[in-house]
Every structure is written in structure tokens, then in C-alpha cells.
Structure 1
Amino acid sequence: MIRRLFYMALGAFVALWTMRKLQALRPDHVARRTAGRVAGLADQFKDFAVDVRRQSASRETELRAQLRLDSVETRPTRYDDVKDGR
């Protein structure tokens, strides 16, 4: 008797769980979840891009200070000393 009651309760639980999972696969639910995930992913990408820009600007400032450069247009006075990669 107890065994039958246990399996009947287990069957009811599995049936309810399966119905809820199938209802979650309806197109309107899938579209809503997908839109939410895409929006979250776009926000994460935007935050990543902001961090990269901030860190690259910081690194550029450090390198300019080490090399004593005032601007991007500063070039060496003698071009004989510059290697052109050939």
C-alpha cells in the first residue's frame, strides 16, 4: 500500500514537472527569455568595452610618461635611428 502511494505521488510529481517544462517551451516564453539574455549580453559587452578603453588609456599614459612623449605626433629627430621593420 505504501509502495503504491509512493509511486503514485512520484508519478504525479513527474507529470507536473514535465507539464511545466513543456509550457516553458512555448514560443512567447522562449522569445521573452531570449530577448532578456541578449539584452544582458549586450550590457556585459558594453561594460567590457568601457573597461578596455579605460585600461588602454591608462596604459598609454604610463608609456608616454616613461618615454617622455608629449603627444602622438612627436617623432625622433634623426630618422636613421628608427627601424622600419625591414
Structure 2
Amino acid sequence: MIRRLFYLALGAYLATWVQRRLRALKPDHVARRAADQVRGLAADIREQALYRETELRAQYGLDTVSKSKLSPNVRDGR
């Protein structure tokens, strides 16, 4: 009797686990995860580019940037 109850509980657990895994493979879930990863990667790239720009400005003594050359959306790395 206890063995049957154990296997019933194990089967219920495995069925729930399989259903969750199958739901995770739906296209909208996969697309959302991919978009989140790309968004995080783009933020890392942007951060590294700003860091490198600051390094280059310090190395070559470019402390100031002409305001006329910058568009309103561009940061000068400081």
C-alpha cells in the first residue's frame, strides 16, 4: 500500500515537472528569454564602450568635447 502511494506521488511530481518544462518551450517564453538576454548584453556592451571611451579620452587628453558636435542623446563618457 505504501509503495503504491509512493509511486502515485512520484508520478504526480513527474507529470507536473514535465508540464512546466513543456510550457517553457512555448515560442512566447523562448522569445521573451532571448529578448531579455539580448537586452542585458546590449547594456553590457554600452557600459564597456563608455568605459573605453573614458580611457581613451584620458589617454589622449581629450577632456572637453565641443557641444556643437554632440547630439542631445549622446553622452561624452564622463
TM score, norm. by length of structure 1? 0.62
Cα deviation for residue 59 of structure 1 reads 3.3
Q: For the pair shown, which has the larger CA radius of gyration, 1 or 2?
A: 1
1:14-49 deviations in Å (ceiling 9; x for gaps): 110111110111111111111111111111110111
Corresponding residue for residue 65 of structure 2: none
Alpha-carbon RMSD: 1.4
Corresponding residue for residue 56 of structure 1: 56
The structure in which a higher percent of residues are helix is 1
Runs of 4+ in 1 over 3 A off after TM superposition: none
List alignment gaps of at least 5 residues for structure 2: 62-78
Cα deviation for residue 13 of structure 1 reads 0.6
Corresponding residue for residue 2 of structure 1: 2
Where relative contact order (Cα < 8 A, 6+ residues apart) is larger, the structure is 2
Corresponding residue for residue 15 of structure 1: 15
CA distance in 2, matches of 1:48, 1:26: 33
* Percent of aligned pairs sharing the same letter: 49
List alignment gaps of at least 5 residues for structure 1: 62-86
